[in-house]
Structure 1
Amino acid sequence: MSDSSFLPDDLKDEQSTERYSALKNYISEDIRRLALILIIAGFIGLGIHHFLLCITLGLILFFALQFRSLYIVNQWISQHSQEPPPDLSGVWGALLFNVYRAQRRERMMQAEMVGLIDRAQSSLMALEEAVVLIDEQHCIEWWNPAAERLLSLKFGDHKRQVLTIIRHPDFIQYFNHVNDFPDGIVVESSFHDGRYTQIKLTRFGYESRLLVAYDVTRIHKLEQMRKDFVDNVSHELRTPLTVLSGYLETLSENEEMPQRWKRAFDQMQQQTRRMNALVNDLLLLSRLENESLQAKNQIIDMAELMNQLFDDAQGYNTEYGHTLNLNLESHNDLIGSDMELASAFGNLITNAIKYTPSQGTITIAWQDRGDEAVFSVQDTGIGINPTHLPRLTERFYRVDSGRSRETGGTGLGLAIVKHVLAQHDGHLEIESKEQLGSTFKAVFPKHRLHRPESEENFVDTE
């Protein structure tokens, strides 16, 4: 029998492992054993004149030893596979060693995975954010302690449908249309009065979901305070600005005013108009935020609106001398609020006119793009550095503060545009190159479009 001992905890050194796992060594060992048995049986057979009988008995002995080893291997695999394997020689020894080594590797990997899972679970348990695992049948599988505080989950909720526990209509809508809410939703807690919770769902596997929720009550209150402050201050400023504007206009028209005073009054009027524009934009933003949940389902005649915008642009363009073009290439109308969309489109047009040097070209268009429709304003202005594009729609963000002061910009125009488009399920695309001009595109999805019946009938008859 070969010297092939197996260690339960350590697999000896690399050299020993290679020696024991080399199958050819074990096969040669079995061959040597068979040869030894046959030689001994042959000598005995020659001595007693029964050579073939002794050779046959030798073969039977060899196979009996092999069957015994097979029996031992089977017993170890079926009943004692967690223990060190028995010490066998030959092919069966190699088989036992390799099976045992594979089992040890698998156990080590399992131990590592269990440790990793334990660490992950411990970290999830320590989180202040609620974490809930939801299976493919929309039943709750697991949650951390924070979920008990935020979502009032309890022991009996295991394997219950999540929609029978969190019944807020906004959450049900979100759960059934996750892709429509990329940033999740904020809902008022049904379990704690005056508390607000941000909920984000992530799909994985076939239909399983990971729910993460955290308390945003403080952020919500601060945001509401900001809205109230802006709204109240804007309203409070409006009255004194109106009074100032009126008196300044009256005094400026006085022909007896000294020339050195007239310039000062003109500057005061200019700054008053600028503050009025700022207040009006702030009030508009406030109104848009407060009316965000109101239905916007008017059918807007885009041909009429585009012509109205074009006429207004021509009036505004008088002192700039640009060439204005109007392209109507879509027969679709829009579904939404005509006042809000007219304000957003007007902002894009006036920006293009203001920030394009004299004698430029402004093209206003309404076009189809696959299933979408696009309102675009293209100019031949000075363009915008690409580094500024991601922040253009932030409130009060200015690419060039000096240029904005010269043109009377408030820094809120694109913020208003973005807000209006978001409430109409649209988005803003900006393309710009310095010294080559800019293109602003308001893109609307298919469900916000309406084709007039006359146009449908016309297409059908064709």
Structure 2
Amino acid sequence: MLNHNWRGALIRRLLLLLAGCLLLGLISGEYAWALAFGLAGYLGWHLSQLLRLHKWLRERQEDEPPPDGYGLWGEVFDSIYHLQRRDLRVRGRLQAVIDRVQESTAALKDAVIMLDSQGNLEWWNRAAETLLGLKSPQDSGQAISNLVRHPRFKEYFEQGNFHDNLELPSPINDRLRLQFHITRYGNREHLMLVRDVTRLHQLEQMRKDFVANVSHELRTPLTVITGYLETLLDNVEQINPRWLRPMQQMQQQAGRMQNLLNDLLLLAKLEATDYPSDSQPVAVDLLLLSITSDAQALSGARRHRLQLQADPHLKLKGSEAELRSAFSNLIFNAVKYSPDESEISIRWWSDEQGAHLAVQDSGIGIEAKHLPRLTERFYRVDSSRASHTGGTGLGLAIVKHVLLRHRGRLDISSTPGKGSTFTCHFPASQAVRRH
């Protein structure tokens, strides 16, 4: 409707201009010159209004209204003014929302940090200054890896796999333990949340110390008990026959307790450090060959068929003793829980994602509801089955911690009645090609 009004007003003004020019031409007798002067004046007026608009756009201050005008240009300036007012109202509402968000995040005890796609700092709340030592405004635009210099954080950020949280000491206070969680949003930007988990870490450390200390304390009396039982059973002819079976059961249960303590101590050792100190390239093919031989002996009369396919040129950086413990747990479990004379497949290979070990059995399988908890300490799918096989309930927990120390992860897939596949994935940085 407004366009029609402008068009009508423009036509009326042009008609009036032409009428004036014709009248001037009638008086002066020079119609052409009168028309030329009239159109030139009209064009000059429009040009002056255009220059006013250009000057205002170039030199205007914040919220300065457009210049006054009349006629067609007056309507243009009025429309610009109304658009400016509406834009200011929208900006005010958006700024109010931003202020509220910033006020709410500033009140959080957790650090909230916004990073661009390159990992440079864009914005952070007050808690980030307390937990990470960020300083405003001098740290704005700095790369986060320049301020959080821990090697594990740099590796975590560069890999871009943010499914799991990362725990590290604070860069400004070693007594603080922080948990980092990064989420991508927008145009590959990053939102980083940092929590103070010092109290949880201390409680977890107390639990680890308690388990380790109790295990050490129980080891000595248990060694004494098993030693006397072995001595008594070595002289079985001097024992009353009715005591023979109880003593054999005592020896069997003492052996299970020793295995449990050994596994608890191994877990305590694995949790004590983040990365194995004796890290070196391990010939995994030879390691698997040795474990497979032991597994075949464990199978014995059950005659499982173990198939091993291992890349002889692929090594893995890490601790051979820890890797042996993890891989043997997976392979021995496959033997224990697979039917007699069934096939167990062991495969070691690499691709562009890294190195992988898969142990596939054709056992009774595991229901999907149990899979997320299999690596928890003492978690048992079937307690009667565990007691039958003599397991401690710590095997997969040991596997999980060994893989974490070698930058790896464990995937479990299983179908009840058809078997299970346990796959260890290691990043390409851990794999070494042997020529």
**Residue of 178, 183, 206 corresponding to 2:157:** 178
Q: Whole-Å Cα distance in 2 between the matches of residues 371 and 145 of structure 1? A: 39
In the alignment, structure 1 residue 96 sits paired with structure 2 residue 77? yes
Summarize deviations over 1:369-411 as a string: whole Å, max 9, x none: 4573333221111112233323322222222333223322222
| Deviation at residue 275 of structure 1 after TM alignment | 2.8
8 A contact 2:109–2:127 mirrored in 1? yes
For residues 218-257 of structure 1, what are the structure 2 equivalents within 5 Å? 218-246=199-227, 250=232, 253=236, 256-257=240-241
Q: Whole-Å Cα distance in 2 between the matches of residues 163 and 84 of structure 1? A: 44
Residue aligning to 1:428? 410
Letter in 2 for 1:388: H
Letter in 2 for 1:242: T
| Deviation at residue 421 of structure 1 after TM alignment | 1.7
Q: Whole-Å Cα distance in 2 between the matches of residues 49 and 299 of structure 1? A: 107
Summarize deviations over 1:183-242 as a string: whole Å, max 9, x none: 334125544x63333455678899997665433221221121011011011122223333
8 A contact 1:34–1:62 mirrored in 2? no
8 A contact 2:352–2:428 mirrored in 1? no
Q: Whole-Å Cα distance in 2 between the matches of residues 190 and 58 of structure 1? A: 78
8 A contact 2:177–2:201 mirrored in 1? yes
Letter in 2 for 1:109: V
Q: Whole-Å Cα distance in 2 between the matches of residues 374 and 199 of structure 1? A: 27
For residues 8-47 of structure 1, what are the structure 2 equivalents within 5 Å? 19-20=1-2, 22=3, 24-39=4-19, 42=22
For residues 103-252 of structure 1, what are the structure 2 equivalents within 5 Å? 103-131=84-112, 143-152=124-133, 158=139, 171=150, 174-175=153-154, 178-180=157-159, 182=162, 183-187=165-169, 190-191=172-173, 194-199=175-180, 212-246=193-227, 250=232
In the alignment, structure 1 residue 358 sits paired with structure 2 residue 340? yes
| Deviation at residue 349 of structure 1 after TM alignment | 1.1
The percentage of counterpart residues that share the same residue type is 41
In the alignment, structure 1 residue 282 sits paired with structure 2 residue 261? no
**Residue of 443, 448, 453 corresponding to 2:430:** 448
Letter in 2 for 1:100: Y
RMSD between aligned alpha carbons?
Answer: 4.1
TM-score scaled by length of structure 2: 0.80
Q: Whole-Å Cα distance in 2 between the matches of residues 137 and 436 of structure 1? A: 47
Q: Whole-Å Cα distance in 2 between the matches of residues 157 and 386 of structure 1? A: 51
Letter in 1 for 2:80: V
8 A contact 2:409–2:426 mirrored in 1? yes
| Deviation at residue 264 of structure 1 after TM alignment | 5.6
Letter in 2 for 1:390: P
Q: Whole-Å Cα distance in 2 between the matches of residues 224 and 156 of structure 1? A: 37
Residue aligning to 1:14? none
8 A contact 1:330–1:373 mirrored in 2? no
| Deviation at residue 416 of structure 1 after TM alignment | 0.6
Residue aligning to 2:287? 305
SS in 1 for 2:150: helix
Letter in 2 for 1:222: L
Q: Whole-Å Cα distance in 1 between the matches of residues 92 and 144 of structure 2? A: 36
8 A contact 1:234–1:282 mirrored in 2? yes
| Deviation at residue 312 of structure 1 after TM alignment | 1.0
Q: Whole-Å Cα distance in 2 between the matches of residues 297 and 217 of structure 1? A: 29
For residues 351-390 of structure 1, what are the structure 2 equivalents within 5 Å? 351-370=333-352, 372-390=354-372
8 A contact 1:141–1:158 mirrored in 2? no
Residue aligning to 1:395? 377
SS in 1 for 2:241: coil
TM-score scaled by length of structure 1: 0.76
**Structure 1, 120-129 or 401-410: larger mean CA deviation:** 401-410
Aligned pair in 2 of structure 1 residues 176, 110: CA closer, same or farther (>3 Å)?
farther
Q: Across the two proteins, how many residue pairs are aligned to each other?
A: 427
Aligned pair in 2 of structure 1 residues 66, 204: CA closer, same or farther (>3 Å)?
same
8 A contact 1:184–1:201 mirrored in 2? no
Summarize deviations over 1:60-110 as a string: whole Å, max 9, x none: 6655664565466556655587336636333x3453344334433433333
Q: Whole-Å Cα distance in 1 between the matches of residues 141 and 25 of structure 2? A: 79
Letter in 2 for 1:108: R
- Structure 1 segments unaligned to the other structure (5+ residues): 1-18, 457-462
- Structure 2 segments unaligned to the other structure (5+ residues): none
8 A contact 1:392–1:414 mirrored in 2? yes
8 A contact 1:189–1:197 mirrored in 2? no
